[in-house]
Amino acid sequence: MTLSITLVVNGDRHDVSLQDARPTLLDVLRDRIGLTGTKKGCDRGQCGACTVLVDGRRVNACLSLALTVDGADITTIEGLATGDDLHPVQSAFVACDGFQCGYCTPGQIMSAVGLIAEGDAGTDPERIREGMSGNICRCAAYPGITAAVLDAQARLADSERTNG
C-alpha cells in the first residue's frame, strides 16, 4: 500500500508518497525532500539535533511520524535566511561563536527560534539555558549559544522597532 502526505516545508508544497508508515518527519525531510540541514543525532528525542518548527512550534522531527504531520507547515534551517541575508538568529550564532563543529547548530538555531517565539525566557541567561536544554552540544559551545540567543533576541527586538 502506498501512503501519501503533503507537507508545506519552508513555504513550498511537497507531495510525498511513502512505501510504508514508518518514516519519521526527520527521514522524510532528509531522504525524500533532500533537506539535509536538519540533523540526526540520537534519533530518540535526547539531543535536539533534529529540531524543526511544526506549525510554529519546536519539536523533535525524529519523534514525529511523518504521517501524523500530514498537512502541516514545517520550517527547517534552510527556510530561515532570505537569499543571502541570514536570519537574525543565524547572524547571532556567527557573531557569538555559538558553535564549533556545527553538527548540533541547525537544531540549536531552530530551537532558539522556537524559544524566542515562546517568549518565556526574557533576558535571563539561566532561563535561556534551561529553555535550550533539549539541545545537546558535543563541543560544549554552550556559553556562545546562550550569548547568541540573547543577541538574537536583541536583534529581533530592534528590527521589530525599526519595522513597526
| Binding residues for other proteins (CB under 8 A) | 3, 20-22, 24, 43-45, 48, 51, 57-60, 63-65, 67-68, 111, 114-115, 118, 120, 124-127, 129-131, 133-135
According to the 3-state scheme, what is the secondary structure of the chain?
CCEEEEEEECCEEEEEEECCCCCEHHHHHHHHCCCCCCCCCCCCCCCCCCEEEECCEEEEHHHCEHHHHCCCEEECHHHCCECCECCHHHHHHHHCCCCCCCCCHHHHHHHHHHHHHHCCCCCCHHHHHHHCCCCCCCCCCHHHHHHHHHHHHHHHHHHHHHHC
How many chain residues bind ligand FAD (CB under 6 A)?
A: 2
Q: Among 45, 56, 102, 122, which residue interacts with ligand FAD (rule: CB under 6 A)?
A: 45
User: Cα separations (Å) of 11 from 79, 80, 102, 150?
Assistant: 8, 11, 25, 27
Q: Cell numbers of 136, please? A: 545537546
Please state the closest distance from residue 42 (CB atom) to ligand FAD, in A: 8
Beta carbon nearer to ligand FAD, 46 or 123: 46
Beta carbon nearer to other proteins, 58 or 87: 58
Nearest residue to ligand FAD, scored by beta-carbon proximity: 45
46 sits near ligand FAD (criterion: CB under 6 A): yes
Please state the closest distance from residue 26 (CB atom) to ligand FAD, in A: 14
Please state the closest distance from residue 128 (CB atom) to other proteins, in A: 9
Q: Which partner, ligand FES, other proteins, ligand FAD, none, binds residue 103 by CB below 5 to 8 Å per kind?
A: ligand FES
List residues near ligand FAD by CB under 6 A: 45-46
